[in-house]
Chain A
Amino acid sequence: MMSLFAKFDDVRMALEGFKTLGRDPSNIRFEQILSPTEAVADGHSVLLFGTNNYLGLTFDPACIEASVAALRSLGTGTTGSRVANGTYADHAALERQIAAFYGKSNAMVFTTGYQANLGLISTLAGRDDYLLIDADSHASIYDACKLGTAEVIRFRHNDAEDLARRLRRLDGRPGNRIVVTEGIYSMLGDTAPLREIAAVKRELGAFLIVDEAHSLGVLGERGRGLCEAADVEADVDFVVGTFSKSLGAIGGFAVSDLPGFDVLRVACRPYMFTASLPPAVIASVMAALSRLDADRSLSARVRSNGRRLYDGLVKAGFEVGPEANPIVAIKMPDPATAGLFWNRLVDEGIYLNLAVPPTTPMSLSLLRSSVSAAHTEAQIDHAISVITAIGREFGIPGGNKTRVSEPA
């Protein structure tokens, strides 16, 4: 009999290959977390430049105090689903708070952002409907497509005209069209052309879902994300997001103004058949969201920190993503060099993410960094100088490099 795991031979071999370059990039241990920007990993003191901790709220005193108080008064877990015994007063209060933050009438809180996408997308799109998703969508969006029954069509990354062409191909067929995009894309830090996509949606008649996982608290005057920054909030039917990045905890949500939205609570299986978030998490998320709502300087700081890292790396000659956002991806010539470079960075006290095909767009090998509002300018400048010094060891940047170009 063949091993059950034989079908994963390719992945296993690729991982073995990376392990020969140094540490196992899929299994690095953080022995101590000293602050939102400092830790001890594999015995090395490291600056954290790959944690999606955009607002640096993981150690915010108000969040911690609220969380501890909820833990003491309500216990460690809800031990049940939202539709059974798992909706406490604060689960409902957090939903009202998120809805108010977005100026929408309804919000649903899920146990993770992954489940929010899985649940919302697979439930909204029925058998005769069409899902049109950006080709570079996050795994949770692809998995939602697999879970659901609708026909799924991919459009070229960030290409509104291509979306229009693919929508027109469906002319004459019944069924709703549901378009899914993200705000900031997690690998290269580029943003969706939402104004153009919203125009296509209006013209050709479709619903629009935007996943603001990496843009909540990062973009927009009030930190609501790309929809706010691009001034298309009225055209967006559903915003999905996560508490696991800028709000420093875990959990997911969806907001909408569409009447009837609430029926999803008894139709959406990834909402109904899993336990709800523990009270301590709900409490810290409420405090974090209040903080974001009250203090606009946080978003402003993560954006300016992103620009500082981006500009510094461009100036040093590295090839980076097409836009200066808090996700800054450095292009490496191949996966092995990326792996070696990544190991050297950990040795020298910088932690960021190693990202290699097939999880990256255009088969790129990337060192993916993300900045936080909690980073000091000195920490960012230090990271740039360490990356530049190690780059010299590898002969990167090589010739006259530019930014990673988008596919035509």
Chain B
Amino acid sequence: MSQSMTINLKIWRQASGAADGGFVAYTVENVLPEMSFLEMLDLLNEQLALKGEAAVEFDSDCREGICGTCGLVIKGTAHGPHAATTTCEVRMRHFHDGETITVEPFRAKPFPILKDLVVDRTAFDRIQQKGGFITANVGSAPDGNAVPIPKTDADKAMDAASCIGCGACVAACPNASASLFVSAKISQLSYLPQGQVERGRRALAMVTQMDAEEFGDCSNHGECEAVCPKEVSIENIARMRREFIKGAFGK
């Protein structure tokens, strides 16, 4: 159907969190433009397996851009050079025959490397546990239409809620700030009537945990928004700041 390509890879390999890592060069032949980037890595791992060499470890699951599991820095950019896509959505047609591509994990101090391209993002879970919820036990909910929500608010909440928690924002930020991720959740719940009661408490608790996890400060670089596969807006960060101040001063 289409011309196959030869791709040269420089992949970060690291046996474990404690071990030293470094780039290793590989060449993959018979790469088709229709393949996804991860299918190209699958092909590499097939070739390695047949030679008895350990596979390059990387995370993926849905392979359609929704679960947030995958995450590689491709040619220096989190999720690759193409805007608004996750790593698993990147197609090989965006690269050319003979090209050399560097592949690295998402790097940030709060995301320790577990092996090769796999990192530990559980810091995000811990932030969420501090307040990324509405306290609503099963059994206590009123009818879904009891409280009308203006469509514009529901839409804004949905825009923020589309965050997939991949961590690209952190990997792209020069300060390794998690502000886009945290602000997306805070914003979502602040737009909804159900989220009002815990609003101040939530912002305070989540931001405090973000700092405790040693994510850096946000200094408005905007790299996070540029790499976000779901195009979550940096405006959420401004909103988070306002929410935090309200929370901190008990308003």
Answer yes or no: are A and B bound together in one complex: no
A interface, CB within 8 angstroms of B: none
B interface, CB within 8 angstroms of A: none
